[in-house]
Amino acid sequence: MQEYWELYMKNLEGNPASIQFNAGISMEIDKLKYIYPTIAFVKAKLKEPKESGLLGENEEPEILFMEDKLEASMIKFRIGTYVGRVISDGYVTFLYYLQFTYNWEDFIEFALTEHQNYEVTHGHSEDSEWNYYKNLLYPTAKEWQLIQNHKVCKALSEQGDNLHLKRAISHKLFFENSDRKEELKEALEERGFKIQQSIKNKEGVEGLEFYRIDKPFYHDIDELTLELIDLCEAFGALYDGWETSVVKL
């Protein structure tokens, strides 16, 4: 089972939520859902949440210690696997998929011995299709794009890039249905984009590479890429990300 964790923000029932999840297992769900058919949760009420309902700096070490203790307990009792954590509205919820549940109470008792000062609820239920992982933890296409945007912005910044300076930003898209290819080209050109070339991916799917002069700063590139996702979807295409050169001036 692969371990590859991602952290991102989303809106959850009208509240900001911090989501951390193991993205590495996403390609193994068809196999894992037969081994771990039960979703389980441990939910603790935060003592000193931020006004936004997220985790405060003072409480973070204790919550991370709770997370580690739960993980150690999960390994000790060999009943399942940790898949993610949700922090929102003054609570932290740890999520697991279980192979069996007969010693769940023993797991809880061992894991939370040192956290009696927290108000904790817990439970489990059948989820053989891994819907909690797919619909709660796993990002939408737009949320994934924001994750990737911020990774690229961070990498540029670490190279000394001034993200506020405009430069050519190149984008890619691939067609699910090429019937509206020319219409999409026109829509891009109307928005000031220049078509660079036609491309194909490894599977032979046709696409386009195009560019425009823009700023790659976090909220600017987020707004731009979310707009491009919507535009591509409207014309039967999938947006496939962006790249640019480092500008240090």
Tokens representing 99 are 């192979």
Beta strands in 127-226 (DSSP E): 167-175, 194-200, 206-214
Tell me what pLDDT residue 124 has.
Answer: 97
Tell me what pLDDT residue 184 has.
Answer: 96
CATH architecture of the domain 141-244 equals 2-Layer Sandwich (3.30)
CATH fold of 5-137: Alpha-Beta Plaits (3.30.70)
Q: pLDDT tens digits, residue range 32-80?
A: 999 999 999 999 999 999 999 999 999 999 999 999 999 999 999 999 9
pLDDT mean across residues, the chain:
95
Tell me what pLDDT residue 66 has.
Answer: 96
Cα distance between residue 48 and residue 36, in whole Å: 34
Parallel, antiparallel or unpaired: strands 15-22 and 167-175: unpaired
pLDDT < 70 stretches in the chain: 1
Tell me what pLDDT residue 105 has.
Answer: 94
Domain ranges in the chain with CATH number 3.30.70.970: 141-244
Tell me what pLDDT residue 2 has.
Answer: 79
Question: Smallest Cα–Cα separation from 13: which of 46, 53, 66?
Answer: 53
- What is the helix (H) or strand (E) element at residue 123, kind and residue range? strand 120-126
Task: Output the pTM of the full model.
Answer: 0.87
Tell me what pLDDT residue 143 has.
Answer: 94
